């Protein structure tokens, strides 16, 4: 019987570096390991690739990481949004990613933590940018936003079959000045 150890494995997502950075700030990865190597390296790479695709707006590569019947769940939603009139909330990730890049042309995505076990990966991510297009019905404000997101990926046969996401829509609306509390 081999005992698994949890290890922090430093990684760098190339897309998480700004041009001004000389030394990258790697994400922290927590995953069972044997001899210092994560036994779930394939899952880590798959999620990294997903975020690289998202950062670079390279939506033609989405089929390389998503299963044909993937589903997206907004765990923080009070109501189902699959019928959402806002493209940035679309359950179709091709539509959603393109809309986010249109709204935030300086879109930056940073992965700060990954926790891997069995068929799931939990990611702590932040997205930032300046609103230059409509976002959730709010006209362009020119204001910067910073969204913290938790994603739980479920993986089967080296493809993402579901993503359960949680982010604070109220915080985003406050940052845009749409809601004053």
**Residue 24 resides in a domain:** no
- Residue 29 is assigned to a structural domain of this protein: no
pLDDT in tens, 21-39: 443 455 676 666 656 666 6
Per the structure, the complete domain to which residue 87 belongs is given by 41-175
**pLDDT at position 31, please?**
62
| Structural domains in the chain (count) | 1
Share of the chain above pLDDT 90, in %: 48
- The band of 93, judged by pLDDT with boundaries at 50, 70 and 90, is confident
Residue 135 belongs to some domain of the structure: yes
In a domain, 33, yes or no: no
Residue 51 has pLDDT above 60, yes or no: yes
pTM of the entire predicted model: 0.77
CATH of the domain at 136: 3.10.450.50
* Helix or strand (DSSP H, E) at 95: helix 93-103
Within-domain flag for 2: no
Q: What pLDDT does residue 168 have? A: 83
Distance between alpha carbon 79 and the CA centroid of its chain, in Å? 21
């Amino acid at each position: 019987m081999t005992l698994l150890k949890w290890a922090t494995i430093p990684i760098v997502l190339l897309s998480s570096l700004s041009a001004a950075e000389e030394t990258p700030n790697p994400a922290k990865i927590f995953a069972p390991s044997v001899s210092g190597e994560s036994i779930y390296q394939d899952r880590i790479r798959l999620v990294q690739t997903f975020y690289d695709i998202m950062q670079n707006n390279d939506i033609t590569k989405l089929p390389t990481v998503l299963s044909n019947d993937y589903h997206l769940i907004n765990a923080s939603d009070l109501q189902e949004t699959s019928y959402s009139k806002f493209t940035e909330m679309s359950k179709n990730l091709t539509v959603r990613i393109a809309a986010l890049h249109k709204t935030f042309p300086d879109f930056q995505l940073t992965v700060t933590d990954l926790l891997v076990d069995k068929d799931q990966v939990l990611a702590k991510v932040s997205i930032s940018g300046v609103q230059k297009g409509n976002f959730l019905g709010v006209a362009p404000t020119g204001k910067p936003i910073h969204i913290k997101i938790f994603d739980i990926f479920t993986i089967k046969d080296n493809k993402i079959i579901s993503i359960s996401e949680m982010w604070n829509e109220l915080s985003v609306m406050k940052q845009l000045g749409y809601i004053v509390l």
